Chains A and B, each alone.
Chain A
């Protein structure tokens, strides 16, 4: 079982729609959860982080965490073509390292 699992996609949504990206993790000891955006050939860019169960909103982005189900998601409202990228879910336990998933490729079409 992979430590962090994401559907590789692509997830295709029309401009203006809500994109929903999902991630599951295997270790119940995981404490911190991060979403990074990575454009092709570029570095991961931090989008959101969440530590507690529930929702956390920042602009068009909402992160949702459900520790009982070992599930974290990212919602992008009013999706724009510029949101087209690979979204990486990363999980941190009580150690230093981030454990990344393989990413979900999002395509927003006009």
Chain B
């Protein structure tokens, strides 16, 4: 069964450094998403991406964050200058259509020191 893949599984970074989290969505899916989950808290929406542009973003997704689809398969989340509070699990998801179920990857655990 096709799945969303994310790399790396764990990223440790010094505060203030830039990180790029990578995702390969399911191949015939058109909508891509990033969510995060701080330890012990609920899953929170960050951003959605369709047709090579952001279609929706949350208040969390400030100027430190950006997303990109650099080629036909990858979808990336960049955090420009990481803060301690960025430590969380980051999940990429994709869906076939706007109202179709979203399927999640295994996540990247981001630890900011």
A100-B99 Cα distance, complex, nearest whole Å: 16
Residue contact A103 to B98, C-beta cutoff 8 Å = no
Please, how many angstroms separate the alpha-carbon atoms of A96 and B109 in the complex?
A: 24
* Chain B neighbourhood of A25, CB < 8 A: none
Q: Which residues of B contact A34 (CB under 8 A)?
A: 101-102
| A44 x B56 contact (CB < 8 A) | no
Cβ of A100: which chain B residues have Cβ within 8 Å of it? 42-44
Q: Beyond the given A44-B91, A46-B104, could you list 16 further A-B residue pairs with CB under 8 A, ordered by the A residue number?
A: A34-B101, A42-B107, A43-B107, A45-B104, A51-B99, A90-B43, A92-B99, A96-B31, A96-B33, A96-B55, A96-B56, A96-B98, A97-B56, A98-B43, A100-B42, A101-B42
Residue of A31, A51, A97, A102 most packed against chain B (CB within 10 A): A97
Q: What 3 A-B pairs are tightest by C-beta distance, nearest first?
A: A96-B48, A97-B45, A100-B43
A32 touching B99 in the complex, CB below 8 Å, given contacts A44-B91, A96-B31, A96-B56: yes
A42 engages B31 (CB within 8 Å): no
A27, B82: Cα distance in complex, Å? 34
Known contacts A97-B48, A102-B42, A103-B42; is-contact A46 B101 (Cβ 8 Å): yes
A residues near B (Cβ < 8 Å) are 31-32, 34, 36, 42-46, 49, 51, 88, 90, 92, 95-103
Instruction: For the complex, give the distance between the alpha carbons of A101 and B48 in Å.
Output: 19
A96-B56 Cα distance, complex, nearest whole Å: 7
B45 and A98 contact, CB distance less than 8 A: yes
Determine whether B81 belongs to the interface, using a CB cutoff of 8 Å to chain A.
Answer: no
Given A31-B99, A43-B91, A92-B99, residue A99 in contact with residue B45 (CB < 8 A): yes
B103 at the interface (CB under 8 A from A): yes
Complex CA–CA separation, A95 to B44 (angstroms): 14
